[in-house]
Structures are given as C-alpha cells and as structure tokens.
Chains A and B, each alone.
Chain A
Amino acid sequence: MTLQHVIGPSELPGALVKPGAEPIVKATAIEKHFDDNHVLRGCSMTVFPGETVTILGRSGSGKSTFLRCLNFLEEPTAGMVDIGGVVVQAEPLKRRDRAGQARIRQLRIHAGMVFQEFNLFPHLSVIGNLIEAPIHVKGVGKKEAIELAEGNLARVGLSEKRDEYPSRLSGGQRQRVAIARALTMEPDVLLFDEPTSALDPSLVGEVLKVMESLAHEGRTMIVVTHEMAFAREAADRVYFMDEGLFVEVGPPEQVIGNPQDERTRTFLARFLHG
C-alpha cells in the first residue's frame, strides 16, 4: 500500500520558490503512538525548495516528535516521508533489513538536524566535528571536507574557533557550530528542534541571526520553535500543532496575525500576553 501525498490548500509555495518547483519534503499522514499515547494523529507537510517553515504549538503537542519522525530518529507508527526523492515508509513492526536501514541513512544525509542540546562531539575539535560525517559517511576527501567546513564556519561567524574544543565554547557558539556541522553535509533541508530553548536568553540572538540569514539566502528549513518573532519574520509558512494535529497552516501573517482556529488563538493569547 502506498500513500498518496496531497498538498494541502494552505501549503502554497512561498515567495522564494521558483514557479513549477516540486516539493523537496513530503511528509504524508505521519502517526506516532507511544504505548497508549497517540502523539501524532496523521500529520502531513509539504515543503518546497528554499522555503522556511516553522512548527508552533504548546509543549507536548507533538512538534518535536513530528520533526524526529521526518529523519526516523523516531520510527513513525504509520505514514511516509519523502526527502529529496528518498522515500521511506513507516515500518513499526519489524526491524528493517540492510537495504531499509541504508535508505534511512540516505534520507538522513538529505536532512541535517540541529538539536536543542547541540550534541556536539566533545572529543573532537570544532573542525573535527564538521568533517567527521562528510569523511566517514559521504566519503569526501579530507582536504575537500576541511575546505567545505571552513566555509561553513565562516558562514556562522566562528572561523577563529576552528581548533577549539566544544567544552570551551559558549552555548550560542556551540549551537552555531552544530548548524555548521549540519550544513557541511550539504543537506536538502535543515531540521531545527527548538534550537534556542537550551540557551541563556542573552545568547539566543546570535543563533537566531544565523538562522534568519540562512532562511533569507534560500535554505530549506523546518524549524520547531517558541521564538514567535522568528516565525513571523523568517517563515514562509507556519504549522500550528495541537494534540498531534496540524490545526492551522498558512503564512505567518495569517496564522500568527489573524488566527482562525480557536486553539491557535488561545495559544497565541497565552504566549503573547504571558
């Protein structure tokens, strides 16, 4: 049984998307159960190349789970993910065979992830963190990998930290290195899982600045966040999630500025007025 992906009526391509472009990410009817807990109840998402999409919602609404299902860090109970043409179906019952596992790795190469807790490799220097996967996963030559990595370090403004170790960096710097690490794999899409939630408030800005500039230069990004200003300014489209469903989807001016759904309104009211 193959699922048919349907592009929702509010998933119109954003301003930066070339007319006639095909979606780069198609998530179709993703469901996830944790024991009795039905966390995701059929979530679909379409992202076109160059778009930045944010997922908003209360804690526990399923946003992060959805993001982690996109690269199968979490195995969905049902559904299908297509990133950059790599299609993987949910297979909750049996362990995948070699070919299946290889397909998931392929999918992950197309989707770079940035975690809330950074998850830098503490035993490797900054440059070591960046070149590890290009060399040992994609088989890129060391020299080429270093060139690529240095470019991305400059991109996040941390060239001078090249040989430093993660423990000697601030939280904001660590997260910027993590972004550069994801970029160095040259993925089709970047997944951000609450990238500023573990940061000291004074360090949030430097990370958001990098993310905003990535969004503006046409990177494809899916961002789970509580940063309303980022969602408003950088996103082409906002998905509002409540109890495992995307209850409202649309451009930020609509979803944040003029929400139609009762649940979105309640969330925003509580969020904006404390």
Chain B
Amino acid sequence: MMGPAGGPGVGLSANQQLVADIERAREQRGRSWRTKFLITWAFIVVGLVAFILITVSVDSAFLEKVVPFILAGVPITLFLAVTSIFFATILAALGALGRLSRNPYLNGIASFYVSFFRGTPLLLQILFIFLALPQAGIVLPEIPTAIVALSLNYGSYMTEVFRSGIEAVPHGQTEAAQSLGMTGRTTFRRIIAPQAFRIVTPAVGNDFVAMIKDSSLASVVGVQEVLWRAQTAGRPTFQSMQTLLVAAFIYWVLTIIFSLFQGRLEKRMATGDRVQRRAQ
C-alpha cells in the first residue's frame, strides 16, 4: 500500500501543503472578487455624481435651504410606514384566519378582501378614499387617508403571506398537539402561531422596507412627507433634479438602514430556537 516515494509521513506533509495552497488560492480569488465588486460600485457612484455636476449647477445656498426642509419629511414618512405596517399586520392576521377558516362567510369576506385590494392600484385606493369617499359623506384628512389605504393594501398582500406561513407549519405539529388533547384554539395559539410567526418575520420585514417607499404615494393627497417636500421645493425654480435626488438618497439610506436591521433580525431568528426562551 505504501507509495514508492517514501513513508506515510512524507505523503501527509505533501497533503497538508496542498490543502494550504488550495486555501490560499481560494482566499486570493475571494479578495480579487471583492475588489472588482467595490470598484464597480465606486465607478457607478462617481459616474452619477459627475453626471449631476455636469448637468446642474450645485447651488449650495439652495441646498442648505432645501435639504432640512426635505429631511423634515422623514419623521412623517416613518410614521406612515410604521403605523400602516402595524395595522396591515393586524388585518393580515385576521385575513389569514379568514382564508383558512372552514366558515364559508368568513372565508368569503377574507378572500374578497384579498382579491379586491390586491387587484387594484394602491394609488387609486388612496385617491378613492380622499376624493371619492367624500361623495358618500366620509371625509378623511390626508394622513389618515394614507394610513388607511396603505394598511388595507399591504394587509391584503400580507394576508397571503401569513396564510402560507401558517400552512408551512408541518401537519405533524397539529397532530401532536391534538394527540395531547389540545383544542383547535389552543393548538393554534400555543403551537402553530409561534412557529408561523417566525416563518413570516422576514417577509414582514421586506414589506416594511417596501412600505417606506410606497408611503411616498401619500404625496398625491398632500401629505407633507419626503417626496411631497422634494416636489414642492424643486418645482417653482425648476430645480427638481436636485430636490428629487435628495429625496431618492433619503429613501435609499432609510431602506439600507432597515435592511441591515432586518438582516440581523433574520439571523437571530435562524439561530434561535432560543428566541422564545423563557426564564423558569
């Protein structure tokens, strides 16, 4: 069995050498990949900045005035997003229960809700609440209009997310709970819902990030959030390029921040069967 070149000791060290070489080569490839990746980003950013500088004059006095004005929309944007994701989550939880219900009335209501609000544009829904409902005597101010529309719309999408999350919990869990004598309600509350909650958390995070951006649609009814302010500031002096870029940058940074936050949350969910660890 022994090789002609010598004892097993020689073979072993040659092997270790090879393993180390492969490892080093892999690291090198990784470094060069990252370098190229970063250069690409830098190239695009520099290109964009150059394009802006060439096309528009940077009027720093204008920017100094306008940036704080647009930034003052951030709390409103976040308020819209947080409030709406909150109500959307409640709607989605109820909607999912309805969609999974054996009761034909509840199921009918829930599936109509999902079908209608997923099947019509969010912008139309906002305008409808603001412009059409007053004809029926229902008048909502701007911000509640935006919150109601965003909640209903996102709630309908998230209903399907929640439903599939609940259905993704293996059937064996229900059987185990039932074999222990649990009622349907206890099974759902104690066994299914906590597991479904973890399954849907990443999706809810995604929806929140999307909601930050979609809250800009509230600008059409005059909610003074980030996009409304950018438009309002840029239009009179034909400097929309500057103001809209500022707004774009703000949304971008906001979504990056929440995506990072979401990534950490997901990581915690993934490692953790210990999320719900309770002191005993």
**Contact among B186, B194, B195, B280 for A137, CB-based, below 8 A:** B186
In the assembled complex, which residues on chain B have CB atoms less than 8 Å from the CB atom of A133? Answer: 177, 180-182
Whether a CB of chain A sits under 8 angstroms from the CB of B63 is: no
User: 1/0 per position for A101-114, CB-CB distance to B under 8 A?
Assistant: 10001101101110
Contact B191 A108 (CB under 8 A): no
Q: Tell me, in angstroms, the Cα distance from A121 to B176 when the chains sit together.
A: 8
Task: Contacts A105-B183, A122-B273 known; list 20 others, CB within 8 Å.
Answer: A73-B175, A105-B182, A106-B181, A108-B178, A111-B179, A113-B179, A117-B172, A119-B170, A119-B173, A120-B176, A123-B275, A128-B278, A133-B181, A133-B182, A136-B190, A137-B182, A165-B273, A166-B273, A182-B180, A185-B181
Whether a CB of chain B sits under 8 angstroms from the CB of A256 is: no
For B, the interface residue count at a CB cutoff of 8 angstroms equals 25
Whether a CB of chain A sits under 8 angstroms from the CB of B118 is: no
Contact B172 A123 (CB under 8 A): no
Whether a CB of chain B sits under 8 angstroms from the CB of A224 is: no
Q: Tell me, in angstroms, the Cα distance from A136 to B175 when the chains sit together.
A: 16
- Find the B residue at minimum CB distance from A114: B179
**Which A131-184 residues have a C-beta within 8 angstroms of B?**
132-133, 136-138, 146, 165-168, 181-182
Q: Taking the nearest CB of chain B, how far is it from the CB of A190, in angstroms?
A: 11
Q: Taking the nearest CB of chain B, how far is it from the CB of A140, in angstroms?
A: 12
- Find the A residue at minimum CB distance from B182: A137
- Find the A residue at minimum CB distance from B275: A123
Q: Tell me, in angstroms, the Cα distance from A185 to B179 when the chains sit together.
A: 11
Q: Taking the nearest CB of chain A, how far is it from the CB of B65, in angstroms?
A: 53
**Contact among A119, A123, A132 for B195, CB-based, below 8 A:** A123
Contact B190 A71 (CB under 8 A): no
Whether a CB of chain B sits under 8 angstroms from the CB of A241 is: no
Contact A123:B198 (CB < 8 A) given known A136-B190, A165-B274: yes
**Which residues of B are at the interface with A, using a C-beta cutoff of 8 A?**
170, 172-173, 175-183, 186, 190-191, 194-195, 198, 273-278, 280
Q: Taking the nearest CB of chain A, how far is it from the CB of B255, in angstroms?
A: 30
In the assembled complex, which residues on chain A have CB atoms less than 8 Å from the CB atom of B180? Answer: 108-109, 112, 132-133, 137, 181-182, 185
Nearest 4 Cβ contacts at the A-B interface: A165-B273, A119-B176, A133-B180, A113-B179
In the assembled complex, which residues on chain A have CB atoms less than 8 Å from the CB atom of B276? Answer: 123-124
Q: Tell me, in angstroms, the Cα distance from A132 to B178 when the chains sit together.
A: 12
Contact A108:B179 (CB < 8 A) given known A122-B195, A123-B195: yes
Contact B181 A105 (CB under 8 A): yes
In the assembled complex, which residues on chain B have CB atoms less than 8 Å from the CB atom of A230? Answer: none
Contact A73 B178 (CB under 8 A): yes
Q: Tell me, in angstroms, the Cα distance from A125 to B170 when the chains sit together.
A: 18
In the assembled complex, which residues on chain B have CB atoms less than 8 Å from the CB atom of A137? Answer: 180-182, 186
Of B172, B181, B182, B194, most buried by chain A (CB within 10 Å of CB) is: B181
Of A106, A124, A146, most buried by chain B (CB within 10 Å of CB) is: A124
Contact A123:B181 (CB < 8 A) given known A136-B186, A137-B186, A146-B280: no
Q: Tell me, in angstroms, the Cα distance from A82 to B177 when the chains sit together.
A: 21
- Find the A residue at minimum CB distance from B184: A101
